[in-house]
Structure 1
């Protein structure tokens, strides 16, 4: 099994930390699993930060020939679970197909003090090349 750790230049770079944004695990027979590190974004509220987070995830997936339609698992951390409906509304804007498996947690704080939401995903990429993956 081949594993590639990556910080694509075309996507947001890690903030104040030393880690890889994407772990790509090549599957026997073709295709890959993409493990995308938790993403945070600037913004005045949960909705604005959530939009930034999903845009960052979209860019990281695109760099590996995937789209948000390829997401099979999503893990969300909110500093206030009472804001779940605000986050959920934005999530539904970006994840429009069959919803992936999911887990949502309330965390007392995230690594970036002003962060209200952090999201990590796993995506399954088919054996087709990036040029064949439709934009979403």
Structure 2
């Protein structure tokens, strides 16, 4: 979101600089109006794009199917149990549930269809990062503090 604010700030500064220069020349009212209109349209487009990229739905509108979650049976996930232990696996399950809701709230996700531990980005006992795949192809990497690390769209 900080990048969006920087872009809006740059657009506003450029508008003011252009306005100042144009206001000093006689007969420039029409050009000033066009510049203002284009500037306002640009700021509107930037804010709309930011809403699409960073926007979230209310939690009351979100439903995540129970079928996306794994029960992590020990016999199917021996390496995860060895690295994380019983307590760690319980934390992974908790983070997966919270992350699924977080991903489903994102405007860029139509519906979460799978979620799992990202063994590449996680560090046992230190950092849990899960991925949430959406039906539209978006993939969210979300950590244990529910911070979205990355969004990938294939």
**Shorter-normalised TM range:** under 0.3
More contact order relative to length (CA 8 Å, sep ≥ 6): 1
Give the alignment's TM-score, normalised by structure 2.
0.26
Q: Which structure has the larger Rg over C-alpha atoms?
A: 2
Give the alignment's TM-score, normalised by structure 1.
0.28
Larger strand share, 1 or 2:
1
